[in-house]
Chain A
Amino acid sequence: MTQAPPARRRRGIAGAGAVIRRRLLVAVPVLIATSIGMFLLGAASPIDPAKQYAGAAAFTATSENLAQIRANWGVDDPLPVQYARWVGNLLRGDLGWSTSRHEPVTAVLGSRAGWTLLLVGAALAVVLVTSLVLGTLAAYRRGGLFDRGLRAAAYAVEAMPVFWLGLAAIALFALTLGWLPAGGLTGITSTTTSVADVARHLILPVGVLAVSQAPWFLLFVRDSVAESLRDDHVLAARARGLPGRTVLFGHALRTALLPFLTLIGTHLPELVGGAVLVETVFSLPGLGAVSVQAALGSDFPLLAAITLVTTAVVLSANLLTDLAYAAADPRVRLDG
């Protein structure tokens, strides 16, 4: 990541290394500000983590009992003390202890973040490929049956909540047709986590997440390709007698790709939000449920870690978007 290979640089990503260095310099204060903001928001919440921890036992536990637990955790300490303790641990490579999950924060992230990333990554890949292909085809035959059908479907899906889509997919593919499992990461009685088993269990969740996020991208690609088909350089390419496919994918789509990359960058948080719901519907052990639990339990260490990881992912995604932007359009100079 830090050094773009020379071959790439020659092909157009000018000054990528400098940009990455500059972005890293910005990322550190952003991450610090985010973590401070997270602690401030957490402190403003009236939730008593000890009561949250006690659950129904809060009705039988004495106030001394709960006060002792809070003292053991140090959650009544002044906020700067808690923050300093957290940063101190962080610098030693210790993300702290999750009070809502009762295990080290690193263990929570380690066992869950991978599944969320896999879900989001696979869904994003599906969204990108299908929206580029289908959107371009729809633009090519503007106003045709395929175009109209696709747009109608996109608007319809846009109106469906992810949650509902998920339950409908289970009802159709798992219950009625019996093709795919209704939830979980692996077969409920399987003892190993085999790739094939996980893949089969991820088809529906990835599909639902992709379908729910696709309309935006699809409509965007369709409109901007349709627009660029009228651009001078595309018209000129067509006038030169280049084949239709070359004009469509080589010229029109390439022009339309630039704003599309920006769209991915700005849409990423929404994709993560959708993933949280999809994880719930398909009972996947990702970061979704655990984030909600951490927020409800005022679990500062876990919340801070999740926030930092998400912020870092968004920052890197933005950086990648810019690099891709430069790769897609030779006119863009990153250090310009």
Chain B
Amino acid sequence: MVRSSAFASRLLAATGVLLLAACSSAPAPAGSSEAGSTFVVATAGEPDTLNPVLNFGVDGASLIFDGLVTRDVKNTLVPALAVELPVVSADGRTVTAKLRDGVTFHDGSPLTAADVVFTYRAVLDPKVDSTLRSDLEMLTSVTAPDPATVVFTLRYAYAPFLQRLTLGVVPAQLLSGQDINKAAFNRKPIGTGPYRVESWTTGDRLVLAANDTYWGGKPANRKLIVAFVADDNVRAQRMRAGEFDAAELPPKLAAAFDTAAGYTVQRVPTADYRGVMLPLGHPVTGDLAVRKALAVGVDRSAMVTGVLAGAGEPAYGPIPPTSEYADPSPAGKPSADTATATALLDAAGWAPGADGIRARAGQQAAFTLMYPAGDSLRKELALAVTADARKIGIKVSPEGLTWDAIDTRITKDALLMGFGTPYDPDFVSYKLFGSQFAGQGYFNPGSYRSPVADKALQDGRDQADPAKRRAAYATFQQQLAADAPWVFLTYLQHTYVVKDGITGVSPRVEAHEHDVANSLWWNINTWTRQ
């Protein structure tokens, strides 16, 4: 909003630094109360809907909506719209939540149990295009015996059920009787969260204004602008131009800000792993010795320093070290242990051939490793695995493909996969490593089958006692390390660049997905400028 005349006079008056500030089109000089009350963050991904029922910000931290529960800085569940953590019955199949008093939606209407019931019923409704339905398949019914109580009835006891109650609650009054898939609400939603939607220019920005009647306290700042900048380099340049207070950047671009004055690089630990899924029906990767040799033969520390520019840590299993269910015993040496790897292969009868590639009974130790072609990080990891495998006499042929091409070969060829959630080990591992999901698309494509792992995964889901769950997941992790159906490589750190002088930035362990919601700015309503 700097007009040309004002711009010219500033050009004469201002020093170089001030000049940059003027050109960032800030409505007022930095430091004044007006500038200090607006935060601008930039992200690559733009949501296609803002409706939690259709999968927006369901893990809490949507900034616009609240769930019955939410997560604190340690990802521990704390009550949100529920006045206390919902109570689970002795048989684990009934969950009762009492609502907080006096919560209102952004339009002033009061929150009641009917809204919560409506929200969950909408997710379960087959007419609604919600991919969350799979996450709530244990839910048979949800009812409201009185306006302040919600009762969930489950098909079977499901220990991590409370984790699913972070889903944002939508107002029934505005949505009932409508086609939720096409409702105008999806672009201009009404929630109970710390911010209400002021405007959303698709492809450009989302403008959120403070909700002064927020039950959790008036937000410390007046406004939040989320700029959608899909290209990484462009985001980095605009960050450098001073347009954003915080931006999500890939590790290598973020590292360039380490030496720049005025910025802090935040490297946030995650549960977002990358690993090589090995199909067990394959003549080479089906051999345990090959899988174990690869598991010890890859140089995880080189991948962290080289491919991830230091923003990561070695991974040995699907449960991140930050989780209370993590078992340290499967962890190995972060650098390549070539001696152990070759000894394993020698013992299994894989003898080196003339070209250095091992073979056994006429079968060359070779396999194809697929990766999504557009993902440069996975490509580099695939190439690192290829180089490491070559050193122990295994020939890996990396192949960049589209997901649709990968889909047709996913049960037959190795794949560089990435996923993970810090919230509960059941969420991802039950389907990825359970025998009953063998060969079902993305779930257990390598057809890993282990009765021990199956029982451990089932115990982890059935048992409410945290100690018993921990024991079950320890068994699962040890069994997985023994069978090595995947070679886990690294956990990523999500990297953000933040302008100096902002207080309240409290990173917490992140899941695979992060954009408007669940990013570094999960608690931006409490951020302030010094």
Residue numbers of A with Cβ under 8 A of B are 45-48, 51, 53-63, 65-66, 68-69, 72-73, 97, 100-104, 108, 111-112, 167, 170-171, 174-175, 178-191, 194, 196-197, 200, 280-286, 289-290
Contacts and interface: CB of A to CB of B under 8 A. Distances in A.
Contacts of B234: 167, 170, 182-183, 280-283
A178 B19 contact: yes
B513 interface: yes
What interface size band does chain B fall in? 35 or more
A69 B133 CA distance: 11
A188 B229 contact: no
A116 to B, nearest CB: 11
Nearest to A197: B1
A181 B7 CA distance: 12
A329 B203 CA distance: 44
Contact of A188 (B2, B205, B403): B205
A68 B126 contact: yes
Interface of B: 1-4, 16, 19-20, 22-27, 38, 40, 48-49, 54-55, 126-127, 129, 131-135, 137, 181-182, 186-187, 201-205, 207, 223, 225, 227-231, 233-234, 237-238, 240-241, 243-244, 403-405, 407-408, 419, 427-428, 431, 440-443, 512-513
A182 B16 CA distance: 17
Q: Which residue of B16, B131, B237, B512 has the most chain A CB atoms within 10 A of its CB atom?
A: B131
B127 A59 contact: no
A281 B243 CA distance: 15
Contact of B228 (A62, A63, A104, A283): A283
Contacts of A103: 186-187, 202
A72 B201 contact: no
A96 to B, nearest CB: 11
A197 B3 CA distance: 8
Given A280-B230, A281-B234, A285-B203, A189 B40 contact: yes
Contacts of A197: 1, 25
A68 to B, nearest CB: 5
Contact of B428 (A48, A60, A175, A289): A60
Contacts of A194: 1
A112 B237 contact: no
Given A103-B187, A167-B234, A289-B230, A54 B1 contact: no
A68 B3 CA distance: 53
B48 A102 contact: yes
B295 to A, nearest CB: 22
A54 B407 CA distance: 15
11 contacts: A54-B55, A58-B131, A58-B442, A59-B419, A170-B241, A174-B238, A179-B23, A184-B204, A189-B25, A281-B234, A285-B202
